[in-house]
Structure 1
């Protein structure tokens, strides 16, 4: 019998498998995707948010625990478990040496990734390189990896794990189990159920694009709901980003994100602005814009900039629609010309301040305009003009399994002694809503390593003291 069964194939699952194997357990990892699509959403990531009290290799200055916590508290609006959040934050300070031992390499922040050189460590080669490094290390250590192995259900004895049953009907027993198989963002029917119809009679979820893997159907999350596991989170909350409307339905990844929002204005299909584009630094606000667009008519938005913004943001994979006048841009985007010109004239007339500086919360703002633009408000009047049609791009959902600091899954308030969870399937314990760049990887790395060590201990009948620094 296998000691530890890990269900999932992304960062959290791999961290769990590596930790369990290092602790002396035999480990099998089940990845639902074929080998060429392995890694779940992790193959699209770029960086890890890291606490540090002084400059560290690729990180500059300092990013202390309290600042990290306040950033997380702000974006979640307090919908977070502080004890678990601080556990993640503290873990992020020391995990990189362990990651390096398994082949992960880091590099300084990329040009155009505003404000992240202090807070986030970037992976050399991105998420695909990280995933490949972990798989190479896992296989070298003797972890059994099986692809195209989706799990349909679990056999449980109360809160105790007994076996996993694959969609093929195969039954796999193990002494303990780690669930690291993601959320339900690729399950369109569940997204429809979560979002329902809006006041316009639309099904918003029908217009969502999925930034990551098509394999996160939420099968085991739904099973665990029915099995009596404690659930946390709002099914409509997710990491949801405004991405280019031309992006593919699945796996568009980070290059489909449109990062010029704070440098311009965003209109709905009626030609109206609907939110403060300059509320805060982009890494702290980019993940609210998918939900904002989802709440607009037709679940579509349009970001408009002029030539002054070019070169100040990471260019997306698709070029913007380019014209020499705002009225021509409105027509090219299919927007009501008169409404767009009126909105843009009102915005330009309201801009105040001459100290534009996109690297700080500058004094360029609007006056007498609703909604206001709090920072980086410059007139949009220098051709050529550029427009990007936007759709909601869901990365991962926040509904998940309730866990504690040991990563144990809870049933009726009591932790299981051999069933653990890590990554997106439990991220809602820390992320009730909102997001800040790189924190998903912080959660997955911390809880993946904890879950792997605890699962090994449960399987081997001993308390593990694996180094989680």
Structure 2
């Protein structure tokens, strides 16, 4: 049976919610955490993660050199195009410096970055065992502290007046309950798994999207709070969207279906035409735009075309590449007009400027008089066999969310902060991620604002 009341009610059992629950409990509050999924699927998108981006002034046990506040900020500013709240972003960056110690003290372990991990050894801390290991550690810590955790529990509505919440309606294993709470922390994610809502934004193109993570992020609590006066933030069409293998599952493919070969290939649509600069910038700063680019192509599909020279420069998909001894044969295998693809490859090869290839820097291997250009890592496709990976948009999470202040309080109506409703994680990511993405920022955001939300929510019990 779910309890009738609690000090702090946390909605959502991913990393953001767990950090909030742990922080609130350590501050002395009674805490109930509701996870929509069953135990085997707990943790939302955090299950599929492997690192977070952290500011650090000197080398750590698992990261090299340093990564300053200003450099982190400039990276974020560049990928968002300025569509970010600088005050909240810089606060997140500064507090990220504390995460290694804070999470380590609660059971999370780290390791050196593996090969093929987007060249993030200086900026990102990698989890030993990945996202599931992080969640296991957080759940064990929360249980040891006395957080009450309930699975198969979907919150359908929050009773709220003028920004003040009193209770939540919960469906647990088919039964409906009401839980009274002195404070509520919303950590229930975006709406990417809500097919109807996605079609309202994207139209029929949404039918061809893969949802990389949990099928439980349907935006029910988000929509409920927006309908009750919570201030929105973010564009509903903006999202963390990457290129995933088109042969992957509709839901929950996770990181193993992601394709990181784009910057070493050319990418064509099903007409055999290139449509964007594959080498525009380092992959960690550009990989999360390729889902949106694919969403804008006919039938929302594309193909990465590469040759034998670059096969070992990236982490491959869980699915094998499609190979052929000629470009024409490869075109037949992937269902593209042979002449169209051969023309695109020939035009590209003719435009390649010889340079010194170096995947670790913005090298001088580029194209000349080609539209779109390839700015870096441009090598001729001339060494058979040739390879292709079919790609679809893979949506990780949406950026429409709840506007918050620096105490993670949800703002209502005229921008007034709630006295007892807080938000963390993907449901408020749009405050910082108006567009674009830097690898590892999502887990950083959830951890930092989870701690903040939990600590301030605990104060509401007095």
| 1:66 equivalent in alignment to 2:70 | yes
Does the 8 A contact of 1:242 with 1:290 survive in 2?
yes
Aligned to 2:452: 450
Does the 8 A contact of 2:54 with 2:99 survive in 1?
no
| Residue 78 of structure 1: how far off its partner (Å) | 0.5
Aligned to 1:381: 382
Aligned to 1:229: 230
Cα distance in 2 for partners of 1:259, 1:115 equals 11
| 1:177 equivalent in alignment to 2:215 | no
Aligned to 1:21: 25
Aligned to 2:252: 251
| 1:328 equivalent in alignment to 2:324 | no
**Deviation per residue, 1:333-379 (Å, 9 max, x gap):** 00011000000000001000230111110000000100000000000
Aligned to 1:314: 315
| Residue 108 of structure 1: how far off its partner (Å) | 0.8
Cα distance in 1 for partners of 2:363, 2:344 equals 23
| Residue 113 of structure 1: how far off its partner (Å) | 1.3
Does the 8 A contact of 1:234 with 1:432 survive in 2?
yes
TM-score (norm 1): 0.96
Aligned to 1:294: 295
Cα distance in 2 for partners of 1:250, 1:104 equals 27
| Residue 284 of structure 1: how far off its partner (Å) | 0.6
| Residue 169 of structure 1: how far off its partner (Å) | 2.2
Aligned to 1:359: 360
Runs of at least 5 residues in structure 2 that lack an aligned partner in the other structure: none
What secondary structure sits across from 2:391 in the alignment? strand
Q: Superposition pairs for residues 241-280 of structure 1, below 5 Å? A: 241-280=242-281
RMSD of the TM alignment (CA)?
0.7
Aligned to 1:435: 437
| Residue 96 of structure 1: how far off its partner (Å) | 1.2
Does the 8 A contact of 1:229 with 1:401 survive in 2?
yes
Aligned with residue 49 of structure 1, among 42, 48, 53: 53
Cα distance in 2 for partners of 1:458, 1:429 equals 24
Runs of at least 5 residues in structure 1 that lack an aligned partner in the other structure: 197-202, 462-469
Cα distance in 2 for partners of 1:354, 1:32 equals 52
| Residue 450 of structure 1: how far off its partner (Å) | 0.2
TM-score (norm 2): 0.98
Deviating beyond 2 angstroms after TM superposition, the runs of 4 or more aligned structure 1 residues are none
Aligned to 1:464: none
Cα distance in 1 for partners of 2:6, 2:226 equals 26
Cα distance in 1 for partners of 2:354, 2:345 equals 17
How many residues end up aligned between the 2 structures? 454
What secondary structure sits across from 2:439 in the alignment? coil
| 1:189 equivalent in alignment to 2:196 | yes
Does the 8 A contact of 1:210 with 1:252 survive in 2?
yes
Does the 8 A contact of 1:114 with 1:359 survive in 2?
no
Aligned to 2:115: 111
**Deviation per residue, 1:201-221 (Å, 9 max, x gap):** xx1111000000000000011
